[in-house]
Structure 1
Amino acid sequence: MDRAGRARANHRLRSLISAGERRPNDPAPREIGAATTSRANLAWAAKGFEFLRWQPGKHEVCAVGATARFEGRRFVGGRLRKAVVVLATAVAVSSAGTAVGAAAPHGPVLRAPAGGYQELSVPSTMGPIKVQVQWAARGGSSALYLLDGLRAPADHSQWTSDTDVLRQFAGDDVTVVLPVGGRSSFYTDWYRPSSTNHQATTYKWETFLTRELPAFLAGYGVSRTNNAIVGASMGGNAALTLAAHHRDQFRFAGSLSGFVHPTFPLWNEAMRAAMWDEGNFNVDDMWGPAGAPAWTRNDATEQAELLRGLPMYVSTGDGAPGPLDVPNGVGNTINAMGLEALSTIATQMLRDRLTALGIPARIDFVHGTHTWPYWQQAIATARPSILEAFGAH
C-alpha cells in the first residue's frame, strides 16, 4: 500500500471511530494495539484508539480489546506500530455503506479493560443475541451468568435496570454476563416456534447459553468451565437445570423465586396462562404436552440428583408484602403475592427432595413478594458463595 493509500485508510478508520458514542459512565478512551489478522483482509495494522462502544444504527462494534469487524475484516490484538493502517479492501467495503456488526472472536484477542462494560452481539441459531457484559475487575476468567424473568425485555437485562448487580460485582474478579431477551422462553430449547403468536424462530436458549455464548466469550479470555449461573423467577428453574445438565460449565447455581418444580400437577396450566399473558406463547410448543420427557428434564426438583456436589443458593419470599415492596397498584401487589406463594410451594418441594437425597444447599425463605428489590437483596446474599465457588475473592 502506498503513502496515499495509507493516508486514506487512516482517515477512514478514524472517521469510523469518531462516529461512535460513549455512554456517560464509560471509561475514557485509551490507546491499544492492533495487529495483522486474516491473510488477504488486512496487510498490517498498528497503534490506534480504543472506544468502549461504537453503534451505527442497530449494529455494534466493540473495539475494547474485542474483535471488530469491518464487513468481514477483523482486527485482533498484538504488537503496536506507529500508525493506523488497514488494507484498502477493508476500507473500500466499509465505505460502501454496508452495516457493521460485531464479530465472534477466533483465537487470542485483546480483552476489554479490567472492569469495563460492553454490549456484545453474539451469533446464535436464533439470530444475533445482545449480551451485556461487565468484565472481571482484574482480568480473571470466571463468569457469572444472570437470567431474567418471564417478561425479559428485548433491549436490556432487567438485572441492569432493576438492580445494582453491576455495582455489587464491580470490584470482583468475575465477568458478569447478562443475556438480553427470551421472554417466556424459560431459557430452554423449544421443540418448535410458538404456534399461537407467529414466532419466526425456535427458541434455543440452552444451546445458546451452554455452547454458542461460552464459545464466543472464550475468545475474550472467559473460561468455558469456571462459571456460575443465577436466575430470577422464570430464570430460577433454568439456572438450576442448566447447571444440572452442564456440570462441566457451572460451579455454582442459584434460583431466586424460581418455579423449580414445573411437573407438579397443574403447574403446566399455570405456566400456560403466564406464557399466554406474556406474548401469547404456547407452552406445548416448548416441551410438548404435560408428561412429555422434556418436562422432567427441565424440572430442577426432578433433576436434583444431578446437582449433588454443586454449591447452590435458593431463595423465595413468603408472598406477604415486606419492607422492600413499593406500592404500585393493588393489582400488581396481589399478582406479586400470588406468584411468590407459588414459588414458595415449589421451593419447599425442592428443599424436601434435596434433603431426602442428602444434598446440601442454602435455601432462604424471606418475607416479601415476587419483585426485583428482593432479588437484588438475594444476589447480594449469594455473592460471597459465588466468589468462593471459583476462588474469585
Structure 2
Amino acid sequence: MNSVRAFWLILTLLVAAPAWAFQSRVVTIPSAAMHESFDATVVLPDQYAQGNSAERFPVIYLLHGSGGDYTDWTANSHIGKLADRYHVILVMPDGGHESWYIDSPVNPRSRYETYVGTEVVAYVDAHFRTLATKEARAITGLSMGGFGALHIALDRPDEFGAAGSISGAVDPRGSEDEPGIEQVFGDPGRDAGFWNSEAIVENARGFGNAHIALTIDCGVNDSLVESNRTLHERLVELGVPHAYTERPGGHTWKYWANAVQYQVLFFAGAFRRAHVASHLADNPTSAAS
C-alpha cells in the first residue's frame, strides 16, 4: 500500500470512529444519615466541558448489585460512551455490599435509601450542572440494584421521573437465602410483614399513580426471570404503562452491559417526551423544550 492510500485509509478510520471524550470522576459524598462518606463515580459527557457554563444536563443514576461497588459499571461495561451519545450525566453511587438500598428496620446504620435517594441526589445537584427536576432524573440498577432503583423511585415519586431494572431482584421474598439479606430486612418469619411490604409487585400500582416512565429487563436464562414476569403481569393487570424486555442471557455482566444501552435509550426518550433538554438557556429553573 503506497503512502497516499495509507494516509486516506487512516483519515477515513478516524472520521468513521466515534471520539468518546467523556470525563469520569470519583467523588466522595457524605451521608448525614449514616455519619459516613462513600465514593461515587460520576461520568460527564464531552458536552459538559465543551459547552458554555449555562448548559445543564439530565442525570441517570446507576446502582450496582450485591457484593459490588461504585466502580462496577465503569469496570465491566462501556457505560461512559452513553453519556456522550445521549448528553446525560451518569452517577454510580456506592450502595454497600448487601444494603438492598433500603433504610433497614433492624440495622440503624444501614440507611442507603436515604443516602442514594436524597443525599446523593442533593450532592450531585449542588456540585454539577444538572437539570434538578423530577422529569430530568432517572434511576436504574442491576440485580439488587434493580430492586433498589424501583424501590427508591416508588418511595420518592417527586424525585425521579423514570426508573428501570436490569435482572432485578424485584421480590426479596425469593432471595431469603442471599448472604446478609436478613441483616437489613430482618428475619423472614418474624418480620414477614416488612418483607411483604417491600416486594415491588405489592406496590406496582404506585408507578401508575406517580407517572413514572418504567422499563424492566431480564434475561430468559436468569434465575430471577419468573419474579420479573410476575411483576410485568401485575403491571399489565393494573394498566400501568411500562416497557418489558426478555432476551437470551443470564445473570452476567455480558447481559447487563448490553441491556443498559437500551435502558439509557429509554430514559433519553422519556426526557424528550417530558420536554427536558440538555441545557438551560437564560432560565435555570425550567427545562428548555
TM norm structure 2: 0.76
2:76 maps to what in 1?
162
Question: Displacement, 1:173?
Answer: 2.3
**Matched residue type, 2:226:** I
**Aligned match of 2:166 in 256, 259, 266?**
256
**Aligned match of 1:312 in 205, 211, 214?**
214
Following the alignment from structure 2 to structure 1, what is the Cα–Cα distance between the partners of residues 124 and 194?
Answer: 28
Tell me if 1:351 matches 2:245: no
TM norm structure 1: 0.57
Following the alignment from structure 2 to structure 1, what is the Cα–Cα distance between the partners of residues 56 and 255?
Answer: 29
Question: Displacement, 1:384?
Answer: 2.1
Question: Displacement, 1:250?
Answer: 0.7
Question: Displacement, 1:119?
Answer: 1.1
- Higher RCO, Cα 8 Å, sep 6+: 2
Secondary structure of 1:121's partner? strand
**Aligned match of 1:303 in 195, 200, 203?**
203
Tell me if 1:284 matches 2:177: no
**Aligned match of 2:27 in 76, 99, 120?**
120
Secondary structure of 2:39's partner? strand
**Aligned match of 1:236 in 146, 150, 163?**
146
1:372 maps to what in 2?
253
Identical columns (%) = 27
Following the alignment from structure 1 to structure 2, what is the Cα–Cα distance between the partners of residues 140 and 300?
Answer: 32
Question: Displacement, 1:293?
Answer: 4.0
Secondary structure of 2:113's partner? helix
Question: Displacement, 1:352?
Answer: 1.1
What aligned pairs does 1:103-182 form with structure 2 within 5 A after superposition? 115-124=22-31, 125-126=33-34, 127-136=36-45, 137-138=47-48, 139-153=55-69, 156-182=70-96
**Matched residue type, 2:198:** N
Tell me if 1:218 matches 2:125: yes
Following the alignment from structure 1 to structure 2, what is the Cα–Cα distance between the partners of residues 297 and 219?
Answer: 33
Say which structure is richer in helix. Answer: 2
Question: Displacement, 1:150?
Answer: 0.7
**Matched residue type, 1:143:** V
**Matched residue type, 1:213:** V
Following the alignment from structure 2 to structure 1, what is the Cα–Cα distance between the partners of residues 172 and 254?
Answer: 25
Aligned length: 238
Secondary structure of 1:347's partner? helix
Following the alignment from structure 1 to structure 2, what is the Cα–Cα distance between the partners of residues 273 and 284?
Answer: 9
Question: Displacement, 1:217?
Answer: 1.5
Question: Displacement, 1:115?
Answer: 4.5
Secondary structure of 2:187's partner? coil
Secondary structure of 1:301's partner? helix
Following the alignment from structure 1 to structure 2, what is the Cα–Cα distance between the partners of residues 189 and 247?
Answer: 17
Structure 1 segments unaligned to the other structure (5+ residues):
1-113, 194-200, 320-339
| 1:185–1:205 contact (8 Å) kept in structure 2 | yes
**Matched residue type, 2:206:** L
**Matched residue type, 2:159:** Q
Secondary structure of 1:134's partner? strand
What aligned pairs does 1:196-207 form with structure 2 within 5 A after superposition? 202-207=109-114
Question: Displacement, 1:289?
Answer: 2.9
Following the alignment from structure 1 to structure 2, what is the Cα–Cα distance between the partners of residues 217 and 188?
Answer: 20
Following the alignment from structure 2 to structure 1, what is the Cα–Cα distance between the partners of residues 227 and 183?
Answer: 23
Following the alignment from structure 1 to structure 2, what is the Cα–Cα distance between the partners of residues 182 and 305?
Answer: 28
| 2:95–2:101 contact (8 Å) kept in structure 1 | no
**Matched residue type, 1:174:** V
Following the alignment from structure 2 to structure 1, what is the Cα–Cα distance between the partners of residues 66 and 126?
Answer: 30
Q: Which of these two proteins has the greater Rg computed from alpha carbons? A: 1
- Change in Cα spacing, 1:171 to 1:348, as seen in structure 2 (3 Å) is closer
Following the alignment from structure 1 to structure 2, what is the Cα–Cα distance between the partners of residues 382 and 272?
Answer: 28
Following the alignment from structure 2 to structure 1, what is the Cα–Cα distance between the partners of residues 109 and 71?
Answer: 21
Following the alignment from structure 1 to structure 2, what is the Cα–Cα distance between the partners of residues 186 and 293?
Answer: 17
| 1:157–1:181 contact (8 Å) kept in structure 2 | no
